[in-house]
Amino acid sequence: MVKQTIQIFARVKPTVRKQQQGIYSIDEDEKLTPSLEIILPRDLADGFVNNKRESYKFKFQRIFDQDAKQEAIFENIAKPVAESVLAGYNGTIFAYGQTSSGKTFTITGGAERYSDRGIIPRTLSYIFEQLQKDSSKIYTTHISYLEIYNECGYDLLDPRHEASTLEDLPKVTVLEDPDQNIHLKNLSLHQATTEEEALNLLFLGDTNRMIAETPMNQASTRSHCIFTIHLSSKEPGSATVRRAKLHLVDLAGSERVAKTGVGGQLLTEAKYINLSLHYLEQVIVALSEKHRSHIPYRNSMMTSVLRDSLGGNCMTTMIATLSLEKRNIDESISTCRFAQRVALIRNEAVLNEEIDPRLMILRLQKEIQELKDELALVTGEQRTEALTEAELLQLEKLITSFLEDQDPESKLEVGADMRKIHHCFHYLKKLLTDKKIHGPSRAPFSEVKDQVNQGPSTEEEYKKLREILQQRDNEINILVNMLKKEKKKAQDALHSSSMDRGEPRRSQSSPFPPGNPEGLRTLPLSAPTQAQDSSVIQYRSSLLHRKTGVREEMSLGRQEAFEIFKRDHADSVTIEDNKQILKQRFSEAKALGESINEARRKIGRLKEEITQRHVQQVALGISENTTVPSAPDPMEEKLRSQLEEEKTRYKTMFMRLKALKVEIEHLQLLMDKAKVKLQKEFDAWWAEEATSLQVNSPPVNLFNHVKPFPQTPESQHKRSQLLSNQRQ
Ligand code: ADP
Ligand code: MG
């Protein structure tokens, strides 16, 4: 058992403005615990009538200042936790801080650069690397990804669902067994045998998380996301299984509603916006007070799910993310205060060992046999599994006479034999179903129902058609607006500079030319690739297809608008950059692949030469009637050292190729995500345009063929063109 308090770390997000410095200082001189001092600016400090302190000091295990890299965060915070998970202990890392302080950046990573990847991808990489190295045990890894929003849990990894809102995802509920263990019903567990498979799952969850988020439900700031790696290990032949879970938690934004004014007690009387964080605080307070017997875990789903991580069987680490700017001073102080409380909580992690269920079954089978023998001894008759034909017949007769008996007091007596009791119920059920199936009223009833149903279905179709018509009209209006804007832009450009006239328009081409980079996916790797979880990959591509490449589903007009939107979108630069990097990596990988093949051929040749040389030497020995010279053959020595060199070269290149493969996969995921984001933003923009058109234009009366928008000859032409396009 390992007893340990929750480890707390602080990470300060880089500030844009340099003058924000001076708000805090980090003191790392004290040998054991570094401290962070937050200095209240004079103007703010004066406002606190009853609170004249000008600085606050907080101790942390370590404090990572603005320039800390993701690599350092992983090495110092996540790696030790991953190591204890590999040893069989549960682990949790959670990021806590106000919105935009860097929680997601720390836990998952940034969406632009490979070097920005956060704790989750790095931990996965580390764990799979370790599993590969250790051949003494059989390991199994599963992944789950849960989002909690408004006290409701959602499974982010269910591939059967096409999420467009959070509610589309399967709902997860918490169940508690009599031993107070928490079980999550409906949360899917996915096996991952390689780092790539696990990364794909992370991507799938993050994409669902992004798609499900709308401006109305700012899910990322209001919801908690828990990515869990479930690891089990077993020594070959042993019956004991070790299980450990690693929760990587991105909490909701911790901002509070401040009650300013009343006595200036800004820093003490603030209330959470997020109720479940309020319950988290209650749990933390209860745990940090000695002799508290009741801990209110059950108040919220998040505290129920993380029950073990807080004051239980787990090694837990908290990262307080801080955005130390003047306007965030109070939030930063409350984050640090929360961390100080958390640091008081003591956990007791134990090795989670279980007996293999197969062994358990064998033991239970033996016990059943013993009990049967005992029963036979007591009752004086040997019982078999099934009843005999005669016994069955006798029973059925009993049931029939029981049913036919008009006396309401009559009883069906079969004796204390569970086999007979079960058979009675089965037989009764059968009688009931038979009666239902052959019942007289069923068929005509359903016929009548079908006839009644015909009315509404035409009504519905009619409504649907009307909606489609409305959509098309909106579409045309949006396009006409865009066309006007484009025309105006072109005219402006013409007026403003005649020098620019000859210049081609910036990147008319789509940021995703066909076949590229998707076409690059068929990576010419000579490295052995492990089987991937095909269902996830298939789902991922179909998801992307739906969310990005929905060209077949989009009407032509909408496609056209999408192309223009895409061209002008700020992200297209990042996408372009990443595409360039990806291209580079691909050609690097291709070149490496070729060099590896070359090295492999060379190794083969060298081996051949050595064998030949050997045979020659032996032949020479025989012909000269001498034994093989005991002195080493210098030629063979040389060949051997060349072989060794070539092997080392091969190994180095192979490792590099493997690393490249992971990087390429990651970059592809980033790009895929960017595409989904673009599509989502386009959809939002499109919807907004459509509503604003509806508001601004007179009501559409489609059935009198009234034109719903003012028409210029140009727009009329465009409209008829579009309509004829759509009919094609
Ligand atoms: P949160 O999840 O706490 O709301 P984010 O992680 O989304 O915050 O961070 C907000 C923004 O700041 C993002 O654009 C993110 O990329 C950036 N950011 C956060 N922390 C860092 C950091 N340490 N270095 C560079 N950028 C960061
Ligand atoms: Mg976030």
Tokens of 146: 């849960």
Distance separating alpha carbons of residues 229 and 248, to the nearest angstrom? 8
Decide if pLDDT at 297 tops 60: yes
518 — pLDDT class (breaks 50, 70, 90): very low
Q: Which residue has the higher pLDDT, 116 or 386?
A: 116
Which stretch of DSSP H or E encloses residue 229?
strand 224-234
Instruction: Dihedral sign for Cα 290, 295, 297, 299, please.
Output: negative
Decide if pLDDT at 170 tops 50: yes
207 lines ligand 1 (CB under 6 A): no
Whose alpha carbon is nearest atom 20 of ligand 1? 102
Per-residue pLDDT tens for 67-103?
999 999 999 999 999 999 999 999 999 999 999 999 9
Query: Which atom of ligand 1 is least distant from the CA of 221?
Result: 4
How many C-beta neighbours within 10 Å does residue 291 have? 4
C-alpha angle 384-390-396 in degrees, rounded to nearest 5: 105
* Residue 695: predicted pLDDT: 67
* Residue 46: predicted pLDDT: 52
DSSP, collapsed to helix, strand or coil, labels residue 55 as: strand
540 lines ligand 1 (CB under 6 A): no
DSSP, collapsed to helix, strand or coil, labels residue 82 as: helix
- Return residues with CB closer than 5 A to ligand 2 (ion): 103-104, 220
110 lines ligand 1 (CB under 6 A): yes
442-496 helix and 556-568 helix, angle to the nearest 10 degrees: 40
Distance separating alpha carbons of residues 347 and 3, to the nearest angstrom? 6
Nearest to 199 by CA among 140, 138, 117: 117
Whose alpha carbon is nearest atom 18 of ligand 1? 102
* Residue 450: predicted pLDDT: 44
What is the mean predicted confidence (pLDDT) over 139-165? Answer: 87
pTM above 0.85, yes or no: no
Cβ-proximal residues to 722 (8 Å cutoff; 6+ apart), any chain: 475, 476, 479, 556, 557
Query: Which atom of ligand 1 is least distant from the CA of 66?
Result: 23
Whose alpha carbon is nearest atom 22 of ligand 1? 13
Cβ-proximal residues to 121 (8 Å cutoff; 6+ apart), any chain: 108, 109, 199, 202, 666
Place of tokens 């995921």: 669
Q: What ligand is nearest to the CA atom of residue 335?
A: 1
Contact 684, 215 (CB under 8 A): yes
Distance 110 CA to ligand 1 centre (A): 7
Whose alpha carbon is nearest atom 16 of ligand 1? 110
* 3-class SS letters over 502-513: HCCCCCCCCCCC
What is the share, in percent, of the chain residues with pLDDT greater than 70? 77
Nearest to 662 by CA among 103, 117, 189, 245: 117
Q: What ligand is nearest to the CA atom of residue 118?
A: 1
Pocket test for ligand 1, best of 73, 105, 254, 325 (most atoms within 8 A of CB): 105
702 — pLDDT class (breaks 50, 70, 90): very low
109 lines ligand 1 (CB under 6 A): no
Contact 209, 157 (CB under 8 A): no
C-alpha angle 557-561-563 in degrees, rounded to nearest 5: 115
Q: What ligand is nearest to the CA atom of residue 95?
A: 1
Whose alpha carbon is nearest atom 5 of ligand 1? 102
How many C-beta neighbours within 10 Å does residue 656 have? 15
Per-residue pLDDT tens for 312-346?
889 999 999 999 988 888 899 999 999 999 999 98
Distance separating alpha carbons of residues 574 and 724, to the nearest angstrom? 36
Which stretch of DSSP H or E encloses residue 600?
helix 571-623
